[in-house]
Amino acid sequence: MIKNYYYLVTGILAIVFSITHALNGQNSVLPSLNVGSITVETKTIFFYVWHIITAENMLFGIAFLFMSFHNDLSKVRYAALIIAILMIIRWIVIFGGTLLYNASGLKNILIDSIAIAIYVSLIIFGTKVKDKQVEHKF
């Protein structure tokens, strides 16, 4: 039985983010590295850094799916908060890197920013869900 619908939705979103991130990388971003004189080492680093994010999103999704069914939500609350903090840090890096290297491109990260804000909000709402404990009085 589902104990936390916020975590369920968050888990599904993270898995979708993982799949779309991988597909976007394979179809749009990574092929553009084959143009020009980028070294094999740089291509390799870019490939694995891109897919680290893909793997993290998949792991977060699986974790949230498991947490959504966990009987004692207080035991998974800190894991959810750590993932939320990691996502906020990820956004800070995206925003800061864009601001530093391409301030005119801030509008290009709007969709990512909205997605991260919704994702983190769902996590925070999920941490507020109370355990429904049934007291048996004999």
Q: Count how many domains the chain has.
A: 1
To the nearest 10°, the Cα dihedral for 52, 56, 57, 61? 150
Write out the residue range of the structural domain in which residue 94 sits: 5-127
Share of the chain above pLDDT 90, in %: 76
53-68: pLDDT as tens digits: 999 999 999 999 999 9
Answer yes or no: is pLDDT of 136 > 50. Answer: no
The pLDDT value given to residue 37: 82
Query: Residue 29 — pLDDT band, cuts 50, 70, 90?
Result: confident
Q: How far is CA 77 from CA 5, 43, 69, 104, 123, in A?
A: 14, 38, 13, 38, 9
Q: Is 74 inside a domain boundary?
A: yes
Q: Is 44 inside a domain boundary?
A: yes
Q: Is 132 inside a domain boundary?
A: no
Q: Is 18 inside a domain boundary?
A: yes
Which residues, in sequence order, are CB contacts of 39 under 8 Å at separation 6+?
A: none
Q: Is 116 inside a domain boundary?
A: yes
The pLDDT value given to residue 133: 52
Please count the other Cβ atoms lying within 10 Å of the Cβ belonging to residue 29.
13
Q: Is 136 inside a domain boundary?
A: no
Q: Is 133 inside a domain boundary?
A: no
Q: Is 138 inside a domain boundary?
A: no
